[in-house]
Structure 1
Amino acid sequence: MVTVDSAALGQVLDSVDLRVGIARRVALAAGGVLPLPSGAATLVYIADGSVSGHPPLTTGCRLDVDRTAQIVAVDDRPLSANLVRGDAFLTLGRAPIALEAGSATDLVVVDLEFSDSASMLAAVLPDPITVMSFDALEPAAAALAGSMGPTDPPSYPVRQGDPVICRIMAQTVLLSVIRAWAANGCAPAGWPSVSKDPFLDRVVEAIHEQPGREWTVERLASVGAMSRSVFAERFRSAIGRSPADYVTEVRIDAAKRMLSAGRSVSETSRELGYASDEGFSRAFRRRTGMTPSAWRASELTAVPA
């Protein structure tokens, strides 16, 4: 069994950030099909019934769970062709998948949109991730997943802040799916490696730990034990953007979390290393199309779709 260092797994989970996490309930009659298109990340929890995949969901890691003894073991046999009540399924949208119900089935489907910096993490996760017996591995998260999605008709009125709460709920279930997959021996050897380069991983980790530090290319190169020119080239090749652009992405994602938690624009600006509120506002607007104050207001007053 491949084991994942708990500190490394914690850092991975901490780096996952969603822009959007909207849950919906989907009821399928026997033989009904739910298409999941490419280009969209989707989390599915089987609340009742069973589904099979087209193409078949037979690749990945099978876990045998002894619910009584709470013992989990990795099984070398192929995955069952069907996912049943209590299983979870995550696709990052690299290829289209269709789920077909084997009987009357109730699904919780969560449409996900990752933040800019978290999208790189999604690129190193396998697709799809299947977690059988998710309800036994992560009972609290499974109970949360089972309660997500609006009822028809809605059982309660829309309230201020609902989009924020929905996103937090979706992120909690998503993190639990990744943890169940990784912590129980399904992760491949060497995972997690964001860049597949241990020296660059050290740099990425430092940026996430201290987004407000004055990160020059020279300072980042020293963290990665490289010369400035070698570092800049390797970073852009592995990460797909310049070091400065990546630092800005991480800062703006951190700013969104701070603003949604009630921090002021000035406090957020200072903590993230900006010389002035005006400079922070310009950087935030370039990335989001909104000022920090307007973004915060929209997050708290938007109505979920």
Structure 2
Amino acid sequence: MPALAAQLQRETGHPALGTHASDDGGIVLLRHRFEASEGRMGHPDQLRLGLALAGGGPLHQRTALGRLQERWRPGQFNLVLPGDAGSYASPAVDLLGIAIDTRLHPQAAQLLAPLLPLATRLHEDPVIASVLQALWSSAQADACLPGFLQQGSAVLLHRLGQLAGQTPAPPPASTPLSARRLRQLEEFIDAHRAEALDVAALAAAVGMEASAFGRALRAASGQSPYVFLTRRRMHWAASALLQGYVVTDVALAAGYANPSKFSAAFRRVMGCTPSMWGLR
């Protein structure tokens, strides 16, 4: 087995659903079902592109090029450039990917600089998806002509270059909300739990403008202001229910005049209805 293919097999932790390597071993096509995981990422010489086919969820990456924090959905691809080392936390995902060793394919290395705008976001493109699927189908049918993976990777790189030219530069990374301000925010929510709070009120509680506050909170917690507010209230509600308080009273105390809306929010956050939680 070529060195690159063997390395990818080791990284998957157990046998992949299939791998196909170019004649020189420098390009590998891989299909695999990855479990949710986290750890170190990046390789000094490999370009990796992964298309989610099924599964998905929150993907977090922090590398030399920046921070990626998005929900990975089927049909979206993630691009990791050579030398972009860092850490990741990935959801379970059924993935079709390609890896290119730029030491064996220096023409790929020459195209890397224009691709930098693509490395800190997830993308969806029918051309990328179609080319990967065509490569996989041909490989599975044993219908690959000599140089087929090389030609396919060249098409993928060309398309990535087109996408990079169309992709606006991402906005500058926001400074995360400080630990002190996070505590202030939590204390404010607790003190005004039964009140109708909006983003402007939450931002004012920590002395910030609303849009900057939203970006800073997401950078610190990975949550929008509304999600942060709801989760804080629901965790308080869960504690109150375990102490024996009636669901309707807890709903009102958490700012919900409509018990059914409270129940729906509680189930989203805690995974079960308030009545079932109170039986624990």
Q: TM-score, normalised by structure 2?
A: 0.35
Of structures 1 and 2, the one scoring higher in RCO (CA 8 A, sep 6+) is 1
Larger Rg: 2
